[in-house]
Structure 1
Amino acid sequence: MESNELRIFRAVAQTGSITKAAHALGYVQSNVSARIQQLEYDLKTQLFYRQRGMILTPAGEKLLAYAEKIIYLLDEADKALNDSCDPSGSLSIGAVHTVSAMRLPEILSQYHKAYPKVDLSLITSQSDELIYKVKHFQLDGAFIKTSSITDDSIVSELAFEENLVLISNSKYTKVEDLYPKAFLMSSTGCPNRTQLENWLKSKGVYNIRYMEFNNLNSIIEGVIADLGASFVPKSTIKEYEEKGLLKSFPVPDQYNTTRTFFVRRKDSLMTTSLSKFIEMIEQNTAYKRI
């Protein structure tokens, strides 16, 4: 096995498709297909089920775990040998949708200006998907909305903490008027949504309707347009409230706190690029190592 074969194998395993893997790698499809067939021939075992895509066999699952580690170690060795006091190379960061909208643009802009040699990339997704990508060496770190991580290979550090408020169109004066409305929130699994549900149930509200928006700006604009209410960090709606475009309602302390954590692999190489990124988080937030 060669490292390039393992990279091709990993790409096919991650995308579930020869075509998508070829596109991601910049190869022709026939080359990727031939390399996978050759790898299976050399290993004398089938790595994929070829039904409605490329699905890993049990042997393929085993090989993927080793392939990820081998590729990571090769890439880490290259980073270690080429790391310097002047940050450079790639840095892949992930973030849940609300954090990418309200916190990261300024931090990423400052980082890019300070360290232009770093190839900085950002992806947004749900917390579970981001944790998976960190664990499987696809991201250097990620901002997530849950601290319930039991995997010892992952380091979880508190980046910042904020208060949540219920928001509505400015014409509403009583919080009770919002109970029957639809709530504009992120998808199931969002901790803010869970806290909202717990609070509403404590008020005897069980028939909760949702309109799912995985974009904070869209949520706020939807609330202003009176599509429904929402539950968001107070800092994100200050200007809108001052202009009279929406109204906020406080929620009891046990339901109104949102915490964002920065996670990374415990055994990952602390490159200068990553170290400087964490320093910038510390400078711009109430970052706490836990």
Structure 2
Amino acid sequence: MNLNDLKIFEAVAVHGSFTKAAEVMFTVQSNVTARIKTLEEELEAQLFTRTSRKVSLTTSGHAFIQYARKITHIIDEAKKEIKKSDQIGGNLCIGCIETTLVFKAPGILSDFMKVYPHVALEFKSDTRDKLIDDVLNYKLDAAFVSSPIHSSQLEQIHIKQDELVIVTSLEEKSINHLLKKDNLSIVVFEQGCVYRSRLETMLNSRGVIQYKSMVLNSIEGIINFVEAGLGVTILPLELVEQYYGGRKLKTFKLSKEISMISTSLIYLKNIPKSQALESFIHMYATEN
């Protein structure tokens, strides 16, 4: 077993195809097949279920890929550590939800780059569940997500607490009037968004089960739809006031148990971390 075998195994698992794995690994399919066979013989377990259409991980394969990703991550970090100079550099990929990307990412990037100008910092936005999954699978170095997080594999640092509010067009009279509408529409991100979940929880608690969901993929789009009176949404009050205070919008407060939401920085525990990630974590650990 060597590092290249593990990377070939990961490629087959990700793409579900020996042919595609060969393409991305710049080798031939026969070599991919041979390396997987060698791995399975060494581990004395079948890693993939093969059909004429698809290759998928077995139970043993799912278990092994976690170790494979951890091993490749540790080796990559070791190489970076050995090559390090007096300057902290490298790449960091940080995840966050769309509102954090718009609202906080520029400030985070500015503050961090002032202290560590040689680190290439990249942000990726997605839903909470996808961000957590990407951190667990070494696709992200860390992520800002709503907390608490119930995972023994993750560390979490509390960053801040926000108040969520219902956001409507100026024409809306009250939440009670809103909830009595026969054609109520909500303007939200896709399933997995914590804001959407809070809004749906509020509606269900008030006995509202009939409503239309309009799904958009940007905060700007959601604001435009709400301002035009096409539906209502739920967003952090600070975000609305700071960035959209001049728009034709109205906000309504919610009960404390629904309105308050905490954000934490999460990252994998018990694995070597690059100097760049250690510095990023330290910046927030000392501020909060």
TM-score normalised over the length of structure 2: 0.84
In structure 1, distance between residues paired with 2:28 and 2:222: 42
Structure 1 window deviating more from structure 2 (121-130 vs 239-248): it is 239-248
Partner residue, 1:115: 116
In structure 2, distance between residues paired with 1:21 and 1:145: 35
Structure 2: gaps (5+ residues): none
Partner residue, 2:67: 66
Post-superposition CA distance 1:73-100 (Å, at most 9, x none): 2123223323455221121211222322
In structure 2, distance between residues paired with 1:225 and 1:126: 25
Residues 239 and 118 (structure 1 numbering): CA distance in 2 closer, same or farther, change over 3 Å?
closer
In structure 2, distance between residues paired with 1:155 and 1:146: 11
Post-superposition CA distance 1:146-167 (Å, at most 9, x none): 3131x22211221111111111
1:177 counterpart SS class: helix
Structure 1 window deviating more from structure 2 (153-162 vs 274-283): it is 274-283
2:147 counterpart SS class: coil
1:227 counterpart SS class: coil
Structure 1: gaps (5+ residues): none
In structure 2, distance between residues paired with 1:241 and 1:134: 31
Partner residue, 1:135: 136
Partner residue, 2:210: 207
Aligned equivalent of 1:273, options 266, 272, 276: 276
Residues 271 and 20 (structure 1 numbering): CA distance in 2 closer, same or farther, change over 3 Å?
same
Give runs of ≥4 in structure 1 deviating > 4 Å.
18-23, 279-283
Task: Say whether residues 1:234 and 2:230 are aligned partners.
Answer: no
In structure 2, distance between residues paired with 1:18 and 1:104: 39
Question: Contact 2:21–2:32 at 8 Å: present in 1 too?
Answer: no
Question: Contact 1:8–1:36 at 8 Å: present in 2 too?
Answer: yes
Aligned equivalent of 2:30, options 5, 30, 34: 34
Percent of matched pairs sharing the same residue? 31
Residues 19 and 104 (structure 1 numbering): CA distance in 2 closer, same or farther, change over 3 Å?
farther
Partner residue, 1:105: 106
Letter of the aligned partner of 1:214 in structure 2? Answer: N
Residues 187 and 77 (structure 1 numbering): CA distance in 2 closer, same or farther, change over 3 Å?
same
Equivalences for 1:101-250 in 2 at 5 Å? 101-112=102-113, 114-149=115-150, 151-179=151-179, 180=181, 181-238=184-241, 242-250=245-253
In structure 2, distance between residues paired with 1:114 and 1:251: 39
Aligned equivalent of 1:254, options 245, 253, 257: 257
TM-score normalised over the length of structure 1: 0.84
Shift of 1:41: 3.3
In structure 2, distance between residues paired with 1:98 and 1:72: 29
Task: Say whether residues 1:11 and 2:11 are aligned partners.
Answer: yes
1:72 counterpart SS class: helix
2:74 counterpart SS class: helix
Post-superposition CA distance 1:18-64 (Å, at most 9, x none): 565566x4x44xx1523321213323365433443331234433432
Cα root mean square deviation, aligned: 2.7
- Equivalent pairs, count: 280
Shift of 1:239: 5.1
